Structure 1
Amino acid sequence: MRLKHLANKILLGDTKKLVSAERSATTKLLHHLKEIERRKLYCDLKYSSLFAYCVHELGYSEGAAQRRIVAARALAEMPEIEAKIEDGSLNLTNISLVNQFIEDPNERREVLKEVENLTKNECEKKLFEITGKEDKPKDKKKRVSKDKIQVAFVLTDETMAYVEKLKDLIGKDLDMDQLVQFMAKEAIKAVEKSKFKQTKPRQSLSPAKVGRAIPASVKRDVYARDKKCTNCGSVRNLHYDHILPFSMGGPSSNDNLRILCSPCNQRARIRAGLTRPETKHELRG
C-alpha cells in the first residue's frame, strides 16, 4: 500500500478511522468467541479449548488469545463495557489485568470503571492500591534447545522440604529434571490406578445385562484402548461417553463407549440434542 501521496491531515484522519473500525471489529470478535464457547464449537475442529482454537486455528499468540478470551467472558458478564471497548476507554490488556486481580464479579465491575483510560503500568499500580496485594513471582518457561525447556518457579519452604525428603528417600543423586520426571511418573500411576481401577478379567457382559453403571472391567478396557479424548486428544478431565446415548438405548459396553474430555463430552451431548448450550458464560477455564 502506497501512502506517500496522502496529505498529513488525511493520513492522521484515516488512521483514527481505522482504529475506530478495529475496535468495533474487536467487540464483534468477542461476541463470536463467546458464542463459539457457549456451543463448544471448537470441539468440532478437534480442539480441547477455546484457547487452543484461538492459537492454532485463528493464529493468535498465546497472550493475545488469552486477552480476547478474558474480554469475551467479561463482555458476557458486563454488557455495558462494550461501548467502553469501542471508544477506547477500556482495552483488552486492562480488562485482563482486572480479571487477574479481582475475583468477585460485582467488585470487578466497579474496578473496571477506575481503570478506564489508564496505561498498563498505571492500571497495575491502581490495582495494587485497591487490593493491597504484592506482586507474586511468576512462573517462567523458556525453550533453550530442541528438546529442553528452562523452567523457573518459586516454592514455599514446606514444598522444598518435601522435595529434599523425597531425594533422601530415593537415595540417588538426581538432578531436578530426573526428580520431576520421577515425581510425575509416580503421580500419573497413582491417579490412573485410582481413577481406572484394575479388576480381574472376566467375560464381557452382554448389552442386555449392562445398565447405565459402567462395570469396572469395561472402564479398564475402554481406558486401555483410548487413553485420551478420542476427539481432540486431550488427557485432561476425561469422561466415559456413550456413543449411542444411554437414554436412546445405547448400552454400557466396550463398543459403545469412548473417552472424551469434558468440553468434547458437552459438545457431543449438544449435538445429540440431550442438552442445550449453556446460557450462562463460563467465567474460568
Structure 2
Amino acid sequence: MNLKNLKNEVLVQNTKNLIKEENRILSKVLEHLLEIEARKLYLELGYGSIFLFAVKVLGYSEASAQRRIEAMRFIKKTPEAQPMVERGQLNLSNLSLLERVSKEAQATHEQNVAALNLIQEETISAAEAETKLRGYFKLESKKRVVKIEMDEDTYQLWVKTKAKLGEPKDASAIKKLCESQERKEQTKVRQSPTARTAGVVLRRELLKEAEHRCQYVSQINGKRCDNQHFLQCDHIVPHFLGGGTTRQNMRVLCPQHNRMVYYNLKGQGVL
C-alpha cells in the first residue's frame, strides 16, 4: 500500500485502527509476562530476574523492560487495569507509574482501583498523573535532585549570597531568589503596542489566559492543540501589517503551529 495515495481521513482512520491493535497486543504482552513470572521461567533459562530475561531474551531496552514489568505487576494485583489497557484508556507510562506510587503508598486493592479512575483520561500527562496519584495516596511531593557545578569564585559568591538572604540551605536560597525575581518582573513597565515582541508581563498574561497551552484550533475538527512546550507569542494580525503587540492581537502557539501559520500566510501571498 502506498500511503502517499491515501486521503487524509483514511490515513488517520488507518492509524487509529493500528493503535487499537497496538493496545490489544500490549495487553497480551503484559498477560504473557505475568505468566512467565508466575512460572519463574526466566530462572529455568538461566536468568536471575525477569528484568534480565526481558532485556536479554525479549530484546527490550532497559527502560522499556522496566515499564512493562511494573505494568505487569500492577495488573497482577489490580486485574481491573488490563481491559483498560486494551481499550486504550490507560497507557504504559501511567500504568508503570501506578505500580511505583501504589507500592510506595502500600495501597490496598480498593485504593488501586480508585486510583485507576483518576488517571484513565487519554490525554493526561505523566506529570499530571503523578501529581494526582501522590495527592490521592497522601504522599510527599517528589523531590527534584539538581546538580550544579561551579568554580571556586562562584561558590564563594553563592555562600555570601545565602548569608545575605539568611538561608543556609541551597534550595531555600534559590526559592527566595526566584520569588524576588518574580516580584521584580511584575513591577516592570507595561507592554508597548509598537514593540516587535511580547515583553515579560504581556507574555505571562497571555500564557495564563491560554492555560499554558497552544491556542491553535483545527478548522477541520475543532480540536485544540494540547502542546505545552516551548510556547511562543504570535501576532494574529502580523506585526509588519500593522498588528499591534497587544493582548487582543496576540495568541499563544507552539513552534509547530506557529510555523504552519507562517507557511499558510506565505502560501496565500501575504508574506
Q: TM-score, normalised by structure 1?
A: 0.46
Larger strand fraction of residues? 1
